[in-house]
Amino acid sequence: MNAKYSSSLSGFAICRGFQITVATFLGAAVGTLGGAKFAYAGETLHVVEHVLDEPTIHLGPKEAADSMGDINVFANPVFDSTNTRQLGTLQGSCVRVIVGKSWQCSFSLVLATECITLEGPYNDTGANVLAITGGTGRYAGAKGQMTPHPRESKSGALTASDLIFDIR
């Protein structure tokens, strides 16, 4: 019985030591992040997404062109506001939630060394605004919203969108 008790205590000591180590590490990380610079409050970021290939995976009946649960996936190049220099990609997916009306989307603006994450509904017609839910690098802890402004070609096809990030 003493051996079992001893074994339990040494296991406890190992776990306890691990907890102290983790607590020390987390405390140091929080202290370090406390002084880190995050996304600048009031910053506006304007990029241009080039809409290339956005396949929809159709999950409904063959005779239905649009069904709840359909998935749209994409990874489109993103350029600076002058539309001349590629900065990264906009990649993610959307799930059809209301047939003919809206999607629920989750995607990221992926830049060279950082990203901004977005979530929210995307309506087939009318204005859209998505929530900025965070990011990495300079955009760690980012909040705010992104408003897309679609551009149409002369043929009426969607070819690009201006994406305005209002970071708070």
Q: How far apart are CA 90 and CA 48, in angstroms?
A: 10
**Using one digit for the tens of pLDDT, what is the confidence trace for 150-168?**
987 777 778 899 999 999 8
Residue 86 has pLDDT above 90, yes or no: yes
DSSP track, 62-96: TT-SS-TT-EEEEEEEEE-TTS-SEEEEEEEEEEE
Q: Does residue 162 or residue 3 have the better pLDDT?
A: 162
Which are the contacts of 22, defined by CB distance < 8 A and separation ≥ 6?
Answer: none
Give residue limits of the domains in the chain: 1-36, 43-167
**Using one digit for the tens of pLDDT, what is the confidence trace for 4-48?**
444 433 433 333 343 434 333 334 333 334 434 445 667 899 999
pLDDT category of residue 88 using cuts at 50, 70 and 90: very high
Residue 1 has pLDDT above 90, yes or no: no
Burial of 11 (0-12, 13-18, 19+ CB in 10 A): exposed
Mean pLDDT of the chain: 81
Q: How far apart are CA 165 and CA 44, in angstroms?
A: 5
Check residue 40 and give its pLDDT: 62
CB 166 within 8 A of CB 148: no
Check residue 8 and give its pLDDT: 39
Q: How far apart are CA 36 and CA 14, in angstroms?
A: 33
Q: How far apart are CA 49 and CA 83, in angstroms?
A: 9
**Using one digit for the tens of pLDDT, what is the confidence trace for 108-136?**
999 999 999 999 999 999 999 999 999 99
Check residue 16 and give its pLDDT: 37
Residue range 62-91: average pLDDT?
A: 96
Check residue 26 and give its pLDDT: 36
β-sheet bridge partners, residue 103: 96, 122
Check residue 156 and give its pLDDT: 75
Q: How far apart are CA 51 and CA 134, in angstroms?
A: 24
Residue range 48-77: average pLDDT?
A: 94
CATH topology (fold) of 43-167:
AOC barrel-like (2.40.480)
Check residue 154 and give its pLDDT: 72
